[in-house]
């Protein structure tokens, strides 16, 4: 878990003291310490990097404004004066430029979209008319703002309407405004804190990657072993059947966003798999699952086995089961697995899943979209492993290919994602947003390579990063990161060979790796310890004499 | 009427008055308890906004405002808004805490949770009587 406290600057034209209170005192991770810039000073605060609020090198900024406070023509429109839409949108562009400029001072900037209290739409049917209606205009302004900020990789626009809906009648309270210049009710601020923390968690690599599902009365209604797959409650003209289908559709949409699905169920495997294959209303197909354990064993042991097969830690998983006893078992034995309280009524399953807020991802890469396919390829690899005698023989039959590339704009997004999400094979676990990573790699003393791994079963994509900081006669391996999907195939050694070859060519004498311990990166320590005598341990460092070459394993074709 | 009947009548009247007044006292106490419970919920809400070491106490005599109280002006606004909101929701009757009458005696009304509870009870009974 991320123990660090993140400093967050709040910039607004209205009083955000309540929001600041919730943000700072919420006990959930990541922990945030909020600093509130003087309210009503939005533009000067955004403009001046010397303002006191920016002096403590904050990680995060939230810039939350009322549209009439920062867009002059919208203020005129509120008085029902005539304004030209183009001119108003130009003011949105100018405001966007201020936000982009400010975003260079922080790692992540969050901008809640503009809203108006519902009592403002006094002209009813004219509300959606261009250049007259306030709602029409504010929708265009929000779209323009989102488009303008899309190009800046560390600014994220939140949909404030979602928070307003969650707060219901308590979203606005004129008393809060007139007594304290507080625009929103506290329920809006609480919803905002939940979303901002979920987003920040995703950016810091705390997002969950795997949903482990029970089958009977979870994925479908009924006990398949008792009633047979033909009589399960799933789809059809039945309110419960429809809810199960919607739940599966919600799961499928998550799978399409790169979240892995898996099954842990107490059942006869052939019976359960037959239901998945044959039931005509099953939205989820067998190929949508990265793995499964369907047997009568203890579910906690099955979850451990499954996560080991998928090379994921318990902090990556969410466990969904209708049975409270099974949930309690996992909660007790695997506390890092997220076990949400699950509604008794299946009609609430889809909304319970969609409101979990633990799958936030700052971006979607090609690898995310095909993640399940990558895991299924891994299953084939493991099947091959069982048929061959030694590890070397298995590796030699994989036809492994590693393509090495420098960091460039086309691979930056995925590289930053890998840097910020990988926990196990990670030497220093440093987290950087895209722009900072690029700036670091462009420094003349630094080199950073990305590695794409493929074999005869498929392309795992960009799954490795190795970087060097060269100062005089000494080179430090700063980042040494490999996705858990491709660990254990000696790609680690190909990464080291890439870095050490460069060091040798540059005539630098020593190369060392400094291991920074976290609760999750022991696999990285084990790997470096296994390299002795090629790398000599010395305290938290592993030192290699660059006079000695470091060979690429024979079974790997290294392409540069 | 015989003299012994007069005595019995007087005794009966006295008992009836006693029962009525103790019932009304019981009702008063029950309402006070209800208001206190509601105010403790408000304090729970307010404490979500505050660090643990600055949490407000859930007791009727701890000072809320004034020199020894923990509520600043923003805290008082939240207390007012949440109390109005929860009185309407939990006790089923709206009250107004931002009128001149209340705001002219902020120290007396919001001095402690106890004084606030008494004031809310008075407002609710005035509404009922009115």
Distance CA A363, CA A437 (A): 15
B82: in domain: yes
Range with lowest mean pLDDT among A59-73, A514-528, B15-29: B15-29
How far A99 CA sits from the closest chain B CA (Å)?
A: 28
Q: What is the structure's pLDDT at A16?
A: 95
Is residue A184 pLDDT above 80, yes or no?
yes
- Would the CB atoms of A24 and B51 count as touching at under 8 Å? yes
Q: Which of A514, A499, A515 is nearest to A552 (CA)?
A: A499
Residues 6+ apart with CB under 8 A from A535: A513, A528, A542, A543, A544
Distance CA A329, CA A334 (A): 8
User: In which band, very low, low, confident or very high, does the pLDDT at B83 lie, cut at 50, 70 and 90?
Assistant: very high
Range with lowest mean pLDDT among A119-133, A140-154, A439-453: A119-133
Q: Which of B95, B70, B2 is nearest to A175 (CA)?
A: B95
Is residue B129 pLDDT above 60, yes or no?
no
Tens of pLDDT, residue by residue over A213-259, are 999 999 999 999 888 999 999 998 889 999 999 999 999 999 988 89
The most confident of the ranges A466-470, A517-521, A550-554 is A466-470
- Domain ranges across chain A: 5-203, 210-354, 387-559
- Would the CB atoms of B77 and A173 count as touching at under 8 Å? no
B13: in domain: no
Distance CA B16, CA B11 (A): 9
Element holding A402 (H helix, E strand): strand A400-406
Residue A411's alpha-carbon distances to A30, A373, A390, in angstroms, are 27, 21, 35
- Contact status, residue A262 vs residue A365, Cβ threshold 8 Å: no
With an 8 Å Cβ cutoff, is A31 touching chain B? no
- Would the CB atoms of A15 and B48 count as touching at under 8 Å? no
Q: What is the structure's pLDDT at A222?
A: 93
Helices (H) and strands (E) in chain A, counts: 22, 18
Q: Give CATH superfamily name and number for A5-203.
A: SGNH hydrolase (3.40.50.1110)
Q: What is the structure's pLDDT at B4?
A: 66
* A159-165 mean pLDDT: 95
Q: What is the structure's pLDDT at B20?
A: 66
* A9-18 mean pLDDT: 96
* A262-278 mean pLDDT: 94
Is residue A381 pLDDT above 60, yes or no?
yes
Q: Which of A553, A371, A374 is nearest to A459 (CA)?
A: A374
User: In which band, very low, low, confident or very high, does the pLDDT at A529 lie, cut at 50, 70 and 90?
Assistant: very high
Tens of pLDDT, residue by residue over A280-308, are 999 999 999 999 999 988 999 999 999 88
Opening angle at CA A227, ends A225 and A230, nearest 5: 105
Class of domain A210-354: alpha beta
- Contact status, residue A125 vs residue A171, Cβ threshold 8 Å: no
Burial A337-364 (b: 16+ CB within 10 A, else e): bbbeebeeebeebbebbeeeebbbbbee
B83: in domain: yes
Q: What is the structure's pLDDT at A398?
A: 83
Q: What is the structure's pLDDT at A118?
A: 72
- Would the CB atoms of B49 and A173 count as touching at under 8 Å? no
B18: in domain: no
B6: in domain: no
Distance CA A12, CA A112 (A): 11
Count of structural domains, chain B = 1
B50: in domain: yes
With an 8 Å Cβ cutoff, is B53 touching chain A? no
Is residue A1 pLDDT above 60, yes or no?
no
Distance CA A379, CA A183 (A): 53
Element holding A501 (H helix, E strand): helix A491-505
Domains A5-203 and A210-354 share a fold: yes
Half-sphere exposure of A489 (CA within 13 A, CB side): 29
Element holding A489 (H helix, E strand): none
CATH number, domain of B60, equals 1.10.1200
B45: in domain: yes
Distance CA A543, CA A539 (A): 10
Range with lowest mean pLDDT among A116-130, A158-172, A518-532, B58-72: A116-130
Contacts of A186 in chain B (CB under 8 A): 45, 49, 78, 82
Q: What is the structure's pLDDT at B12?
A: 79
Q: What is the structure's pLDDT at B1?
A: 61
Q: What is the structure's pLDDT at A2?
A: 59
The most confident of the ranges A55-59, A482-486, A487-491, B123-127 is A55-59
Is residue A14 pLDDT above 90, yes or no?
yes
- Contact status, residue A39 vs residue A13, Cβ threshold 8 Å: yes
Tens of pLDDT, residue by residue over A313-368, are 888 899 999 999 899 999 998 999 999 999 999 999 999 999 888 888 777 666 77
Closest Cβ opposite residue A18 in set B49, B52, B84: B49
Q: Is the ipTM of this complex over 0.90?
A: no
B12: in domain: no
Q: Which domain holds residue B81?
A: 27-129
Tens of pLDDT, residue by residue over A424-441, are 899 999 999 999 999 999
**Entry pTM:** 0.72
Q: A33: nearest CA in chain B?
A: B51
* A129-153 mean pLDDT: 93
Tens of pLDDT, residue by residue over A450-507, are 999 998 878 888 999 999 999 999 999 999 999 887 887 899 999 999 999 999 998 8
Distance CA A319, CA A264 (A): 9
Q: Which of B89, B94, B91, B122 is nearest to B108 (CA)?
A: B122
Q: What is the structure's pLDDT at A380?
A: 72
- Would the CB atoms of B49 and A175 count as touching at under 8 Å? no
Best of A17, A36, A181 to disrupt the B interface (most B CBs within 10 Å) is A17
User: In which band, very low, low, confident or very high, does the pLDDT at B2 lie, cut at 50, 70 and 90?
Assistant: low
- Contact status, residue A16 vs residue A184, Cβ threshold 8 Å: no
Question: Which CATH topology does A387-559 take?
Answer: Aminopeptidase (3.40.630)
With an 8 Å Cβ cutoff, is A65 touching chain B? no
- Contact status, residue A448 vs residue A467, Cβ threshold 8 Å: yes
How far A106 CA sits from the closest chain B CA (Å)?
A: 25
């Amino acid at each position: 878990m991320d123990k660090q406290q993140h400093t967050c600057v709040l910039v607004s034209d209205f009083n955000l003291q309540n929001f600041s209170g919730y943000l700072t005192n919420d006990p959930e991770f990541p922990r945030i310490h909020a600093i509130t810039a003087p309210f009503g000073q939005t533009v000067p605060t955004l403009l001046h990097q010397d303002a006191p609020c920016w002096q403590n090198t904050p990680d995060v900024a939230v810039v939350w404004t009322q549209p009439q406070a920062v867009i002059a023509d919208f203020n005129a429109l509120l008085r029902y004066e005539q304004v030209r839409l183009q001119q108003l949108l130009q003011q949105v562009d100018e405001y966007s430029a201020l936000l982009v400029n400010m975003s260079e001072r922080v790692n992540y900037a969050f901008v809640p979209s503009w809203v108006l209290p519902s009592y403002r739409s006094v002209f009813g049917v004219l509300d959606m008319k261009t250049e007259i209606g306030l709602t029409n205009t504010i929708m265009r302004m929000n779209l323009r703002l989102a488009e303008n900020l899309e190009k800046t990789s560390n600014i994220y626009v939140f949909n404030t309407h979602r928070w307003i809906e969650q707060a219901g009648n308590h979203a606005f309270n004129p008393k809060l405004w007139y007594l304290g210049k507080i625009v929103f009710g506290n329920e809006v601020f609480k919803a905002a804190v939940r979303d901002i923390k979920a987003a920040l968690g995703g950016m810091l690599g705390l997002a969950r990657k795997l949903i482990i599902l029970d089958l009977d009365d979870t994925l479908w209604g009924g006990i398949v072993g008792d009633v047979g797959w033909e009589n399960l409650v799933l789809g059809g003209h039945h309110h419960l059947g429809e809810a199960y289908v919607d739940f599966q559709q919600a799961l499928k949409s998550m799978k399409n966003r790169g979240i892995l699905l898996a099954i842990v169920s107490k059942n006869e495997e052939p019976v359960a798999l037959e239901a998945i294959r044959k039931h005509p209303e099953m939205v989820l197909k067998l190929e949508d699952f990265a793995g499964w354990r369907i047997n009568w064993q203890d579910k906690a042991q099955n979850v451990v086995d499954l996560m080991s097969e998928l090379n994921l830690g318990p902090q990556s998983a969410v466990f969904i089961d209708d049975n409270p006893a099974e949930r309690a078992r996992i909660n007790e034995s695997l506390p890092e697995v997220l076990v949400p309280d699950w509604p008794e009524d299946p009609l609430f399953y889809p909304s319970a899943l969609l409101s979990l807020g633990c799958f936030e991802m700052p971006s979607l890469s090609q690898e995310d979209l095909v993640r399940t396919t990558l895991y299924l390829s891994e299953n084939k690899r493991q099947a091959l492993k069982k048929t061959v005698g030694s590890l070397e023989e298995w590796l030699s039959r994989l036809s492994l290919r590693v393509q090495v590339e420098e960091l460039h704009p086309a691979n930056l997004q995925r590289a930053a994602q890998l840097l910020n999400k990988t926990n196990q094979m990670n030497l220093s676990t440093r987290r950087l947003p895209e722009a900072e990573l690029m700036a670091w790699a462009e420094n003349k003393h630094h080199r950073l390579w990305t590695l794409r791994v493929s074999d005869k079963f498929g392309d795992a994509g960009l799954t490795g990063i190795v970087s060097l900081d060269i100062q005089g006669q000494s080179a430090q391996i700063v980042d040494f990161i490999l996705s858990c999907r491709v660990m254990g195939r000696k790609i680690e050694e190909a990464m080291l060979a890439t870095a050490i070859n460069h060091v040798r060519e540059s005539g630098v004498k020593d190369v060392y790796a400094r291991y920074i311990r976290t609760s999750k990166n022991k696999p990285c320590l084990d790997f470096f310890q296994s390299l002795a005598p090629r790398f000599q341990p010395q305290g938290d460092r592993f030192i290699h004499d660059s006079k000695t070459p470091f060979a690429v394993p024979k079974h790997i074709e290294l392409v540069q | 009427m015989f003299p012994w009947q007069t005595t019995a009548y007087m005794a009966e009247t006295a008992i009836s008055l006693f029962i009525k007044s103790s019932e009304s006292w019981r009702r008063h106490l029950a309402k006070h308890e209800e208001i206190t419970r509601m105010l403790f919920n408000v304090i729970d809400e307010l404490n979500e906004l505050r660090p643990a070491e600055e949490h407000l106490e859930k007791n009727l005599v701890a000072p809320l405002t004034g020199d020894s109280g923990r509520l600043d002006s923003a805290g008082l606004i939240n207390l007012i808004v949440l109390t109005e909101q929860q009185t309407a929701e939990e006790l089923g009757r709206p009250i107004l805490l931002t009128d001149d009458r209340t705001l002219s005696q902020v120290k007396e009304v919001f001095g402690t949770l106890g004084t606030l509870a008494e004031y809310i009870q008075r407002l609710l009974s005035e509404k009922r009587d009115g």
